[in-house]
Amino acid sequence: MSRLILCSDDFAYSPAISAAIVALAHAGKINAVSCMAVMPGWAEDARMLADLPAHVEIGLHLTLTEEAPRTAMPRFAPDGRMPRVDPLAAAASRWTVPLDEVATEISAQFDAFFAALRRPPAFVDGHQHVHVLPGIRDLVLAETAARAPGAWVRDCTDGAAAMLARPFTGKAIGSAWHSRGLRAAAAALGLRTNDGFAGHYNFRGDYAALFPRFLRRPGPMHLVMCHPGAGERTGDGIAAARIVEAKALHRLPIADMAVAEGLAFPA
């Protein structure tokens, strides 16, 4: 049977978001948590992860946009804050990103993850999918292979028929385009990737109504990203959507929905 990985991104973005994610994990509604070890509250929030159910995977959500870095990055973040994703993607496409600074920052976020949890991440991905960008992906894969060789890496691609069955097909196609070649590059280093990817939407509307379409035409290791949360944090453009997602995920019979699509969940 294929496996569903329902992964909540952005743990440690704020204490309220972290608490909402942990509540969903304890309720059996998600089975993976992706952590922003760059955040100043990471070490404190990480204590909430101590007694999660054993089947819940805990991964590293590498962050290279908009937050303060853990390391000095005079060229990448000259004002002390990392760039927004669109300028970063444009710079990566031109190969003008200071990759030496990015490599040091990636290593520091791995260090912070290990310092808090005393173990390597079960998987690695990127906030706003920055881990797939040219140049940056090579650094992420190399660091993962060296520091967490048993981890899997998020591949943001899906099958063509599956993408057509998803809401916001254009977003799915865009992610797949940027991720092309990632799976082969990961495999060359002995790293696994998910096979099947969904979760794109516009952070508006009826999330519960959209969710079933994320499960259609699943891959054998089908990853669905989500962004549940609570509370507000200055600059969080999807704060309202996080609350809607959290309520919907608590309410939906996710295990039954998964089985109906041939997916094992939560294990």
Residues in the chain: 267
Query: Cα–Cα distance between 139 and 105 in angstroms, integer?
Result: 10
Mean pLDDT value of segment 182-199: 97
The string of pLDDT tens digits covering residues 210-230 is 999 999 999 999 999 999 999
Does the global pTM surpass 0.85?
yes
pLDDT above 80 for 101: yes
pLDDT given at position 85: 97
Percentage of residues in the chain having pLDDT higher than 70: 100
Query: Cα–Cα distance between 20 and 229 in angstroms, integer?
Result: 5
- 209's tokens: 């109504």
3-state DSSP call for residue 164? helix
Query: Cα–Cα distance between 114 and 112 in angstroms, integer?
Result: 5
Task: State how beta strands 57-62 and 192-193 pair.
Answer: unpaired
pLDDT above 90 for 93: yes
Query: Cα–Cα distance between 188 and 233 in angstroms, integer?
Result: 40
pLDDT above 80 for 139: yes
pLDDT given at position 232: 87
93 near 136, Cβ under 8 Å? no
Mean pLDDT value of segment 152-174: 93
> For residue 63, with 0-12 CB atoms within 10 Å meaning exposed, 13-18 middle and 19 or more buried, which class applies?
buried
